[in-house]
Amino acid sequence: MLIKFGMQLSCGEFGPVIQWHISVGMSAAPKADEAQTIDGVDAGNELMQLQCRFYESRFPEIDELVMVNVRSIAEMGAYVSLLEYNNIEGMILLSELSRRRIRSINKLVRVGKNEVVMVLRVDKEKGYIDLSKRRVSPEDIIKCEERYNKAKTVHGVLRQVAQDTGLELTDLYEKIGWPLYKKFKMEQPLGADDEKKVEYLHCYDIFKMGITDPAVFDGLNIEPATLASLRTHIGRRLAAQPIKIRADIEVTCFTYEGIEAIREALTAAQLKSTDDVPIKVKLIAPPMYVMTTNTLDKVKGIALLHEAIEAVHTIIKSKGGGLVVKMEPKVVSVNEEREFLQMIEKLENENRQVDGDDDEDD
């Protein structure tokens, strides 16, 4: 139904008059053979082409941990979508929400929030999936979130390839994602009965291997253009990012060689640098110094900073000075680095103010 409003302004005996017109009619329905399009592309078909479950199995296994999104809350429990299985519906029963007495469902689960749950029952014919939240441990949550984040990254890479090549996302999973899982599966013996537990290297880790080892993708039944697009997007999204490692030290020496001894000790620390792990030493405020490196190898970076600190300790001790490690070498987060830079800026401003006071005294 189509409703139209109109307005007409006219001049009456006592001033302007506004007349409103309302017309009601039926809007023309689109023809059955006319598809709705956006920018010339069938929106429905395009959306279908970019949807697919993360794993080859259409349904999760019993006792499997899955990531879900809460869609609605009812008297029986919470209805959810299984994010890794193309948003098929599942239900967390009321009795499986918590081990404690339930006073308010809304305090346990919220609509729109992601939750880690365990699969209790699966009816593949009817599509029923019963889930449990109360049987999930904190360790399970960490493992499931890590796996889900990896799978989501892989999904994003394959979606980009699908958009580049015009292929359906399901085809890319069938030709790339799922075959790679099978190619790198690992069998581990469980006991004396020759039973084996099959584990799969995650496709995320396989993609990362492919950055430095192109042979990883050998045997895949895909066109060269598709492979080129895959490598491009893997390089953009999964390439290792340098991490910053920092250590804070206090170096003092009150002997005759004081300043020169400190300079020699800190130079020895910088000489521990390598091409992969360059070490820098910066003065924060006497006697505090910060030692940093940016590297792709966390273990190697921390180990080399320890060696650099030991080099400083050896030299400064031989000169009659001392060293105190205020913060052991560790990877610093973005927030920690921001706070560190703010602290340096504050100290520099204080030093400028002190210098200005000295000038005025002169």
pLDDT single digits (tens) 255-268? 999 999 999 999 99
Asked if residue 95 is part of any domain, the answer here is: yes
- What are the CA-CA distances from residue 328 to residues 88, 132, 184, 257, 310 (Å)? 48, 42, 38, 27, 12
Q: How far apart are CA 173 and CA 161, in angstroms?
A: 11
pLDDT of residue 279 exceeding 50:
yes
CATH code (residue 185): 1.10.150.190
Asked if residue 7 is part of any domain, the answer here is: no
Across the range 37-66, mean pLDDT stands at: 71
pLDDT tens digits along 144-198: 999 999 999 999 999 999 999 999 999 999 999 999 998 887 654 545 555 555 5
pLDDT for 24: 44
Asked if residue 314 is part of any domain, the answer here is: yes
* 230 and 157 Cβ atoms separated by less than 8 Å: yes
Asked if residue 277 is part of any domain, the answer here is: yes
Say how far residue 88 (Cα) sits from the centre of its chain: 23
By DSSP bridging, strand 65-73 and strand 114-123 are antiparallel
pLDDT for 242: 84
pLDDT tens digits along 204-221: 999 988 888 888 899 999
pLDDT of residue 15 exceeding 70:
no
pLDDT for 196: 54
pLDDT for 174: 95
Percent of the chain beyond pLDDT 70?
77
- Identify which has the larger pLDDT, 49 or 22: 49
Q: Model confidence at 42, in pLDDT bands (50, 70, 90)?
A: very low
Across the range 110-137, mean pLDDT stands at: 92
Looking at the fold, whether 311 and 219 belong to one and the same domain comes out as no
* 329 and 246 Cβ atoms separated by less than 8 Å: yes
Beta strands in 94-136 (DSSP E): 114-123, 128-132
Looking at the fold, whether 108 and 152 belong to one and the same domain comes out as no
Looking at the fold, whether 73 and 107 belong to one and the same domain comes out as yes
pLDDT of residue 327 exceeding 60:
yes
Across the range 97-110, mean pLDDT stands at: 74
Local structure of residue 176 (DSSP, 8 states)? I
pLDDT for 195: 55
Range of the domain at 337: 243-357
- Identify which has the larger pLDDT, 278 or 21: 278
Q: Model confidence at 201, in pLDDT bands (50, 70, 90)?
A: confident
Q: How far apart are CA 43 and CA 351, in angstroms?
A: 62
Last residue of a domain, one of 198, 223, 238: 238
Asked if residue 51 is part of any domain, the answer here is: no
pLDDT for 333: 75
Looking at the fold, whether 108 and 124 belong to one and the same domain comes out as yes
Asked if residue 166 is part of any domain, the answer here is: yes
Across the range 217-239, mean pLDDT stands at: 91
Q: How far apart are CA 147 and CA 125, in angstroms?
A: 27
Looking at the fold, whether 314 and 274 belong to one and the same domain comes out as yes
Asked if residue 84 is part of any domain, the answer here is: yes
Question: How many domains are there within the chain?
Answer: 3
Closest CA to 58 of 86, 90, 81: 86
pLDDT of residue 95 exceeding 70:
yes
- Identify which has the larger pLDDT, 24 or 74: 74
Average pLDDT, the chain: 81
Looking at the fold, whether 348 and 251 belong to one and the same domain comes out as yes
Across the range 71-92, mean pLDDT stands at: 92
pLDDT for 60: 94
pTM: 0.58
Asked if residue 218 is part of any domain, the answer here is: yes
Q: Model confidence at 200, in pLDDT bands (50, 70, 90)?
A: confident
pLDDT of residue 17 exceeding 60:
no
Looking at the fold, whether 86 and 173 belong to one and the same domain comes out as no
pLDDT tens digits along 284-305: 888 999 999 998 888 999 999 9
Structure tokens at 11: 């001049």
Looking at the fold, whether 173 and 270 belong to one and the same domain comes out as no
Those residues whose C-beta lies under 8 Å from the C-beta of residue 177, and which sit 6 or more positions away, are 54, 154, 158, 203
Across the range 318-341, mean pLDDT stands at: 86
Percent of the chain beyond pLDDT 90?
53
pLDDT tens digits along 52-77: 999 999 999 999 999 999 999 888 88
